[in-house]
C-alpha cells in the first residue's frame, strides 16, 4: 500500500466506504460505474447479464488501484483510495491470473508473481481457478487452454484426457456427477511447466470441481461485497 494512502488512513480513519462504483472483469480489467449502480444486480446473475461499466485506461490511475488493492477479514476486496475504501464487484475472482510463457510463471492482473498454487478448481463452464498465496484467482481466458494442456496426473495422463468422458456436448461439466466419481473427486495433477511450485513442495496438487455459484464460499471471497 502506498505511503500516502497509509498517511491518509491515519489522518482520516473513519471515512465511510463506498459500494457500486468499481468492478473487476473476467479479463482482469478495472471498470468504473460512474452512476454508482454496479451493485444493481442479483448475486446469481452471470457477468454477461450485468452492467459492464466503463474501462479505466489511464495508466497512472491503474497503477494506483493495482498497488492499493486488498481484502478485509470478510473476504471483501477493495481499492484503498486514500482514506476511503472502494469495494469491488468481482465478475470472476479477486485475481485474474496470466501465464508468462517466456518465464513460464504466473502473475496476477495487478502484477504480483505467483510462487505457490495450493489447489486447482474447475467450474461447470470449464473455467480454471487457483488458490494462491495472494488469494484466489481465475486463469485468464487467453491462457486457460495452455494451462489445461500442461496439467497431468502424476502418472503422466493429461487432465483433459481423464475428463473427456464427463464433458457434455456443450463443453460443460456436470458438477454433481463429478463429485460422485471417486477417481475424479480425489484427483491430483502436476503443472509440467517449470517455475511454479506447489504448496509445501508437494509433487502434485489437488484439482476439485465446484459450481461457480459456490466458488466464493469455497475460496473465501465475496463477489458482491455488502456493508
Domain locations in the chain as residue ranges: 3-90, 95-216
pLDDT at 168 over 60: no
pLDDT at 211 over 80: yes
pTM: 0.86
pLDDT at 167: 64
pLDDT at 194 over 60: no
Given a contact cutoff of 8 angstroms between Cβ atoms, the answer to whether 25 and 91 are in contact is: yes
Confidence bin at 63 (pLDDT 50/70/90): very high
Instruction: Give the Cα-Cα-Cα angle 189, 192, 198 (nearest 5 degrees).
Output: 60
pLDDT in tens, 8-18: 777 877 888 99
Amino acid at each position: 500500500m502506498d505511503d500516502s494512502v497509509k498517511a491518509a488512513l491515519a489522518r482520516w480513519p473513519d471515512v465511510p466506504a463506498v459500494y457500486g462504483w468499481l468492478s473487476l472483469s473476467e479479463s482482469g480489467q478495472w471498470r468504473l460505474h460512474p452512476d454508482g449502480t454496479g451493485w444493481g444486480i442479483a448475486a446469481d446473475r452471470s457477468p454477461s447479464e450485468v452492467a459492464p461499466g466503463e474501462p479505466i485506461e489511464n495508466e497512472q490511475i491503474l497503477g494506483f488501484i493495482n498497488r492499493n488493492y486488498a481484502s478485509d477479514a470478510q473476504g471483501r476486496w477493495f481499492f484503498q483510495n486514500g482514506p476511503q475504501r472502494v469495494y469491488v464487484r468481482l465478475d470472476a475472482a479477486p485475481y485474474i491470473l496470466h501465464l508468462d510463457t517466456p518465464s513460464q510463471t504466473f502473475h496476477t492482473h495487478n502484477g504480483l508473481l505467483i510462487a505457490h498454487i495450493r489447489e486447482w478448481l474447475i467450474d461447470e463452464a470449464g473455467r480454471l481457478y487457483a488458490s494462491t498465496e495472494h488469494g484466489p484467482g481465475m486463469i485468464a481466458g487467453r491462457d486457460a487452454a495452455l494451462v489445461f494442456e500442461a496439467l497431468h496426473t502424476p502418472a503422466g495422463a493429461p487432465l483433459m484426457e481423464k475428463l473427456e468422458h464427463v464433458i457434455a456436448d456443450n463443453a460443460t461439466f456436470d458438477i454433481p456427477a463429478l463429485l460422485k466419481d471417486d477417481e475424479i473427486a480425489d484427483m491430483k495433477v502436476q503443472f509440467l511447466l517449470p517455475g511454479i511450485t506447489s504448496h509445501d513442495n508437494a509433487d502434485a496438487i489437488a484439482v476439485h470441481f465446484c459450481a461457480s455459484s459456490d466458488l466464493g464460499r469455497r475460496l473465501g471471497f465475496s463477489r458482491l461485497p455488502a456493508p
